[in-house]
């Protein structure tokens, strides 16, 4: 397929790609190395252009204003931005005349939120990134939203899973089966249970000038809370200290003779400026990292926070180096221009420049990328209309006085059902109106026919199920004692600063009933004897297997007693589990609201 952006410069492999599974101590065994074409001449040094995007998240179509489709320009006025086809056009313009140009991503490129991307296993995003000419990417937290295997086998290598054309390996816009990313992934700080990095810690690119080759190292880092994050929860992985990991990789690169090093870290920060190409009082984990990580690193590209800043922060030796973040969803492109000393290959820091460019829509969208986007948009529309179940009554979020709703009950049943597909589980829970954040119940399932193509009375389409429930969280099965579970139920009520009590109800699966006494003090409203699981009273000393969304389990919903969990097992994500439940049960009828009741 013809690339829509400037093709990668002619490359010669000078060393093998660093294989996954190496610890920082063993980095010297291999490294990825590519030679680009002869760069433009620059007075005093070898000119190298570094172009990057971050947190694309599969936004192939231009984002709406509600999804950040505007950004404040240099004059403070909003600019309309985003869209892969516009991104391609701007990339061509920015890279024009820079024969020695390296284009990469800072992570969270996929695990997309648009339906057409998510429903096709993020493969549409990879097709677009391949066509744009991305050369490598750090591993973001969302690259691990499904599993390690999804990243290193499916996305990186094109290995299929499930049913071909249904679960993965869809036919792309060229009529061919998905083959994986044409680019590499790096992370120096995410390791498996044996302490082995899951992908290469770094990559090396070589540039030439007057017959001499100069190496540039790019180290990948991942936000350290990735293994325990709500969407990327992967209990078999762990994160090493980012600074120590970056320093170790930089030292290894230096021993290999690499004098120019870029840190591509998927963690970020923010600043107080109102525009995208400025820097005022920056703060955040990536900013702190920039102040402490080794001076061997010459530039730092960040992401994760969906922020926009263009900073210069002194390294520990007092020398300036750019620290940048280019927003999200393809709204900005960062460009760093460096010059390498022709004698040593080191970056001439005083000649480094950096610019954030807005991906405005006042240019002609690239026709090749637009063709790919249109193909997947149409495929998404077909996928959206796929019937998954029939309902005989409305499932709504409307709650009774006990906080119970038909949709909340259904979602709790879904959690228990999906947990039991992989192991034992005693009950399912879901936060229907959490004290913190938002619920996974995002809409209602109604019998009445909607205005969506393909709908009919009582029909639930795949896209409707996706819209109504879920935000990309896995369902976890965890162990809690009866006493801990009772504490979770008590935390549905919280006394506010003004003295009022806020009720944040939890829905329970059909095999559970409980009663509460709202006249009792907060913290003493649910008696264990009034909680029945499969007809038996809650035993404070017994261990129960509980199924709930990861966001709830890690305490982010405002039920901190959940954080005492042990023995977590990750199941499928909320969207997948809900669609699977609907398909398995075919016809659903709302159950009476009898699982929770008030005393008195």
- Residue (of 198, 185, 212) closest to 46 by Cα position: 212
- 12-379: CATH topology is Purple Acid Phosphatase; chain A, domain 2 (3.60.21)
Angstrom distance (rounded) from CA 157 to CA 297: 30
Beta strands in 240-279 (DSSP E): 260-266
Burial class (CB in 10 A: 0-12, 13-18, 19+), 561: middle
User: Which overall architecture, per CATH, does domain 387-598 show?
Assistant: Alpha-Beta Complex (3.90)
Whether 454 and 583 have beta carbons less than 8 Å apart is answered as no
- Where do the domains of the chain lie? 12-379, 387-598
Whether 87 and 5 have beta carbons less than 8 Å apart is answered as no
- Measured in Å, how far apart are the chain's first and last C-alpha atoms? 70
Cα angle 78, 82, 84 (rounded to 5 degrees) comes to 165
In terms of DSSP bridges, do strands 512-516 and 596-598 run parallel, antiparallel, or are they unpaired?
parallel
Write down the pTM of the prediction: 0.91
Share of the chain above pLDDT 90, in %: 90
Query: What's the pLDDT tens digit per position in 549-595?
Result: 999 999 999 999 999 999 999 999 999 999 999 999 999 999 999 99
Burial class (CB in 10 A: 0-12, 13-18, 19+), 539: middle
Query: What's the pLDDT tens digit per position in 154-209?
Result: 999 999 999 999 999 999 999 999 999 999 999 999 999 999 999 999 999 999 89
Whether 116 and 71 have beta carbons less than 8 Å apart is answered as no
Angstrom distance (rounded) from CA 4 to CA 24: 37
In terms of DSSP bridges, do strands 45-53 and 332-340 run parallel, antiparallel, or are they unpaired?
antiparallel
SS (H, E, C) 370-410: HHHHHHHHHHHHHHHCCEEEEECCCECCCCCCCCCCHHHHH
pLDDT along the chain (600 residues), means of 10: 36 34 36 39 81 98 92 94 99 96 97 91 98 99 97 98 96 98 99 98 95 96 96 96 99 99 98 96 98 99 98 98 98 99 97 98 99 99 98 99 98 99 98 95 98 97 98 97 99 96 98 98 98 99 99 96 98 97 98 95
């Amino acid at each position: 397929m013809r690339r829509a952006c400037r093709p990668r410069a002619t490359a010669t492999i000078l060393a093998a790609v660093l294989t996954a599974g190496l610890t920082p101590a063993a980095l010297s065994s291999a490294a990825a190395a590519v030679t680009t074409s002869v760069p433009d001449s620059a007075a005093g040094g070898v000119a190298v252009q570094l172009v990057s995007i971050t947190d694309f998240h599969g936004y192939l179509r231009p984002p709406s204003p509600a999804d950040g489709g505007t950004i404040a320009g240099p004059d403070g006025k909003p600019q309309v931005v985003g869209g892969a086809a516009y991104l391609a056009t701007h990339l061509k313009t920015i890279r024009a005349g820079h024969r020695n140009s390296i284009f990469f991503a800072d992570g969270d490129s996929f695990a997309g939120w648009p339906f057409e991307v998510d429903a096709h296993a993020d493969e549409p995003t990879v097709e677009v990134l391949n066509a744009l000419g991305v050369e490598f990417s750090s591993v973001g937290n969302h690259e691990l939203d499904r599993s390690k295997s999804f990243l290193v086998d499916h996305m990186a290598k094109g290995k299929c899973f499930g049913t071909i054309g249904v679960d993965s390996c869809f036919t792309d816009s060229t009529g061919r089966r998905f083959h994986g990313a044409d680019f590499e992934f790096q992370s120096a700080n995410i390791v498996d249970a044996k302490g082995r990095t899951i992908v290469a810690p770094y990559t090396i690119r070589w540039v030439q000038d007057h017959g001499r080759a100069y190496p540039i190292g790019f180290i990948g880092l991942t936000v350290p809370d990735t293994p325990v994050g709500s969407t990327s929860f992967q209990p078999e992985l762990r994160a090493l200290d980012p600074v120590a990991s970056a320093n170790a990789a930089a030292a290894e690169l230096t021993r290999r003779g690499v004098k120019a090093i870029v840190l591509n870290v998927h963690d970020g920060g923010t600043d107080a400026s109102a525009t995208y190409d400025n820097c005022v009082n920056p703060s955040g984990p990536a900013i702190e990292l920039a102040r402490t990580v080794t001076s061997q690193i010459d530039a730092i590209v960040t992401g994760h926070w969906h922020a926009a800043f263009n900073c210069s922060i002194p390294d520990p030796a007092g020398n300036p180096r750019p620290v940048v973040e280019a927003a999200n969803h393809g709204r900005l492109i960062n460009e760093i221009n460096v010059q390498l000393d022709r004698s040593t290959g080191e970056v001439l820091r005083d000649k480094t420049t950096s610019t954030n460019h807005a991906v405005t829509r006042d240019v002609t969208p690239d026709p090749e990328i637009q063709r790919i986007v249109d193909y997947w948009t149409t495929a998404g529309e077909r996928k959206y209309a796929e019937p998954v179940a029939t309902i005989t009554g409305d499932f709504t979020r409307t709650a009774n006085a006990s906080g119970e709703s038909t949709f909340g009950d259904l979602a709790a049943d879904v959690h228990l059902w999906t947990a039991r597909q992989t192991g034992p589980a005693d009950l399912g829970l879901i936060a229907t109106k959490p004290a913190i954040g938002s619920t996974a119940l995002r809409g209602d399932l109604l019998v009445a026919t909607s205005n969506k193509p393909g709908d009919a009375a009582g029909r639930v389409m795949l896209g409707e199920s996706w819209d109504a429930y879920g935000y990309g969280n896995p369902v976890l099965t965890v162990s809690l004692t009866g006493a801990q579970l009772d504490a979770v139920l008590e935390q549905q009520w919280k006394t506010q600063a003004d003295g009022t009590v806020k009720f944040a109800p939890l829905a329970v699966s059909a095999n559970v009933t409980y009663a509460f006494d709202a006249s009792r003090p907060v913290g003493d409203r649910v008696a264990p004897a009034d909680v029945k699981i499969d007809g038996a009273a809650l035993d404070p000393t017994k261990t129960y297997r509980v199924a709930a969304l990861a966001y709830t389990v890690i305490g982010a919903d405002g039920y901190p007693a959940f954080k005492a969990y042990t023995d977590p097992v990750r199941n499928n994500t909320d969207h997948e589990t809900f669609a699977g439940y609907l398909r398995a049960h075919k016809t659903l009828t709302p159950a009476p609201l009898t699982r929770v009741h008030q005393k008195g």
